[in-house]
C-alpha cells in the first residue's frame, strides 16, 4: 500500500507566507509617489517619513515573515 506524500508546508505556513507577500506589496505602495510634476522642480515630499522609514520597515518585516513561514514547524 502506497503512503500519501506528506507536504512540507501546512495551512499556517501558507497563511504566514501570503500575509507576508501582502505586507511587502503594501510597503512598496507606501514607497510610491513624491515625484515632481515637470521633472525640473524639486519636491521635498520624496523625503517624507512614510517613504524613508515606514515603507522600508514594512518591506523588511514582510521578508522576515517569509523566512518565518519557511522555517515554521508545528
Task: Quote the pLDDT of residue 21.
Answer: 98
Sequence ranges of the domains in the chain: 11-71
Burial 12-47 (b: 16+ CB within 10 A, else e): ebeebbeebeebbeebeebbeeeeeeeeeeeeeeee
Place of cell 524639486: 42
Task: Quote the pLDDT of residue 26.
Answer: 97
Task: Quote the pLDDT of residue 8.
Answer: 82
Per-residue pLDDT of the chain (74 residues; tens, 9 = 90+): 678 777 788 999 999 999 999 999 999 999 998 777 787 888 888 889 999 999 999 999 999 999 999 998 87
Task: Quote the pLDDT of residue 16.
Answer: 95
Amino acid at each position: 500500500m502506497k503512503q500519501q506524500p506528506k507536504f512540507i508546508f501546512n495551512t499556517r505556513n501558507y497563511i504566514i507566507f501570503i500575509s507576508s507577500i501582502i505586507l511587502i506589496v503594501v510597503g512598496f505602495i507606501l514607497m510610491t509617489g513624491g515625484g515632481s510634476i515637470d521633472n525640473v522642480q524639486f519636491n521635498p515630499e520624496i523625503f517624507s517619513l512614510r517613504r524613508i522609514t515606514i515603507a522600508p520597515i514594512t518591506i523588511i518585516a514582510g521578508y522576515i515573515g517569509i523566512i518565518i513561514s519557511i522555517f515554521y514547524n508545528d
